[in-house]
């Protein structure tokens, strides 16, 4: 007959088995090779080096999968290696973090360090990605987060797809605490799809053509925050913009934007441009600290841009401090600090305060 002590020991044994067998979604060190498709959480046990016939390094085909690089690197040394990590369509809650993804092939056409088409809840965190055209493509993935990573690529984060532009709308994407450097003429965040509730916060970049840029702008960005970024243009890069606000109800707050032909471009209603430091370059013929972009392709003919507030910004060494183009009416551009601009304000609209 079992005693109480034996029953207690048996219970402990069963609990121990349950704990050992309950790995859940924790990543475990695994021996992987390029071309593998992952369906459960995995950690690298060593550097992963792709061969000349590997198009991609790893694919993720399961939801709530964690790929922990564990401080190791995925290396793509051959021209045929075009993608580091990609997720299958529709998988959710994928996390890729803690290591490096590097393309080193001379003349490489490497496209993406990490790419998704539609993977809601995608998280890319603490990665070092270099040598690709685009470090991270979130596609049309709602709730994507790209945070605390370093990019040495032409584009840091692409929201949407160049080949499927015009989608609306990607929701609740966060790009925060990242750094883009090392590629002259790069773009920190490129938008080729409409977005709602986008947050681009606390990033830095140097030698940029554009900071936050909207492509295929007939699909726009709304109810979004672009704040506390430190962005510097490549020297005398014509046409470059620090931040383009294409859409309505966008807050551009506390950014430091240096050397762009246009520091902040507005193409929409009710923008809040507050407390930014915009240092331009007097060598640009119509360089502007803040410009209302009446000819932006997102705007229909006859569009009037109104009810935006441009206030408490420091606008320095711009050809024009604030440029209200003709479609900009009844906006507030008061209480800014102008220093060493060729012209502080040009107002071609009506009813603007400055």
| Any domain includes 313 | yes
| Any domain includes 1 | no
| Any domain includes 354 | no
Are 247 and 284 in contact by the 8 Å Cβ rule? The answer is: no
| Any domain includes 352 | no
- The parts of the chain modelled with pLDDT lower than 50 are 1-24, 218
Report the CATH number that the domain containing residue 265 is assigned in CATH: 2.160.20.10
Distance CA 187, CA 244 (A): 12
| Any domain includes 173 | yes
pLDDT of res. 185: 78
**Domain with 320 in it:** 8-347
| Any domain includes 106 | yes
Give the global pTM: 0.88
User: Could you write out the three-class secondary structure of the chain?
Assistant: CCCHHHHHHHHHHHHHHHHHCCCCCCCEEECCCCCEEECCCEEECCCEECCCCCCEEEEECCCCCEEECCCCEEEECCCCCCEEEEECCCCCCCEEEEEEEEECCCCCCCCEEEECCCCCCCEEEEEEEECCCEEEEEECCCCCEEECCEEECCEEEEEECHHHCCCCCEECCEEECCEECCCCCEEEEEECCCEECCEEECCEEEEEEEEEEECCCCCCEECEEEECCEEEECCCCCCCEEEEEECCCEEEECCEEECCCEEEEEECCCCEEECCEEECCCCCCCCEEEEECCCCCCCCCCCCECCCEEECCEEECCCEEEEECCCEECCECCCCEEECCCEEEEECCECCEC
Distance CA 260, CA 281 (A): 7
pLDDT of res. 27: 63
Q: How many domains does the chain have?
A: 1
Are 45 and 73 in contact by the 8 Å Cβ rule? The answer is: no
| Any domain includes 49 | yes
| Any domain includes 202 | yes
């Amino acid at each position: 007959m079992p005693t109480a002590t034996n029953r207690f020991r048996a219970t402990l044994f069963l609990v121990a088995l349950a704990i050992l067998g309950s790995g859940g979604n924790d990543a475990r060190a695994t021996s992987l090779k390029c071309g593998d498709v992952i369906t459960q959480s995995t950690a690298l046990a060593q550097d992963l080096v792709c061969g000349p016939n590997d198009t991609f390094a790893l694919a993720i085909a399961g939801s709530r999968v964690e790929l922990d690089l564990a401080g190791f690197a995925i290396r793509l040394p051959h021209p045929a290696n075009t993608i580091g990590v990609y997720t299958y369509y529709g998988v959710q809650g994928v996390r890729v973090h803690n290591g490096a993804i590097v393309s080193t092939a001379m003349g490489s056409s490497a496209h993406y360090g990490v790419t998704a088409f539609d993977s809601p809840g995608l998280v890319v965190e603490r990665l070092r990605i270099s040598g690709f055209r685009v470090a991270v493509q979130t596609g049309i993935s709602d709730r994507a987060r790209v945070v605390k990573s370093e990019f040495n690529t032409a584009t840091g984060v692409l929201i949407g797809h160049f080949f499927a532009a015009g989608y609306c709308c990607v929701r609740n994407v966060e790009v925060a605490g990242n750094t883009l450097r090392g590629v002259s003429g790069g773009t920190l965040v490129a938008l080729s799809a409409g977005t709602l509730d986008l947050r681009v916060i606390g990033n830095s970049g140097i030698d940029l053509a554009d900071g936050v840029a909207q492509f295929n702008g007939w699909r726009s960005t709304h109810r979004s925050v672009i704040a506390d970024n430190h962005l510097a243009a490549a020297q005398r890069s014509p046409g470059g913009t620090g931040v383009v606000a294409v859409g309505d109800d966008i807050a551009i707050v506390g950014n430091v934007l240096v050397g762009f032909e246009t520091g902040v471009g507005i193409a929409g209603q009710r923008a809040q441009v507050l407390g930014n430091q915009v240092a331009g370059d007097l060598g640009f013929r119509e360089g502007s600290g803040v410009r209302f972009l009446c000819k932006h392709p997102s705007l229909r003919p006859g569009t009037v841009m109104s009810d935006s507030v441009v206030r408490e910004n420091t606008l320095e060494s711009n050809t024009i401090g604030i440029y209200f183009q003709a479609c900009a009416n009844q906006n507030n551009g008061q209480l800014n600090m102008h220093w060493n601009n060729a012209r502080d304000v040009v107002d071609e609209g009506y009813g603007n305060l400055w």
